[in-house]
Amino acid sequence: MAESPERRALSFSSLEEAVADAEKLAAGKVRTTGKHSFALILKHLAITHDMATGKIKAPRPPFLMRLLLPLLKGMILRGPVKPGIKLPRAAEEVFWPDREVDIQDALAHLKQSVENYKRNGPLEVHPFFGKATREQLDRLNCGHCAMHLSFVHPA
């Protein structure tokens, strides 16, 4: 059985808390224990906020995922977001760029995407989770940020 990577225990009650954690990490040296770099994690989080607001178009999930993701929404809302959801290749290419990005550029993108999310709000129908309230989407996004940032540790 494969060993789970080391993770920080994180929980955010707002996206501002997630951004503050990312800023604190970006101010020093970090190490990651997952398969993605800190900069790619920041970029990924920014991309997902951009999709939640319609700023960029989300890839259409395969049929089976379209059926399962609204069901997963309930599970995610009841507890922490679990790592390990395997994305289809087309979605993987959108959500996880195959090139390294600059940490400060990725952090700036995350801040801008969160500001846009706060100002313009999420779409009424989330591209992956379907209909959800603003409160539910805020919780989903905070949980998503906590899960990914839990793999980033101050060095």
pLDDT digits (tens, 9 = 90+) for 89-138: 666 677 777 778 999 999 999 999 999 999 998 888 888 788 888 999 99
Pairwise CA distance, residues 57 & 53, whole Å: 9
Per-residue pLDDT at 84 exceeds 70: no
- Residue range 51-60: mean pLDDT, rounded: 87
Copy the structure tokens of residue 38: 């800190």
Task: State residue 111's pLDDT score.
Answer: 98
Please state the pTM of the whole predicted model. Answer: 0.87
Task: State residue 98's pLDDT score.
Answer: 76
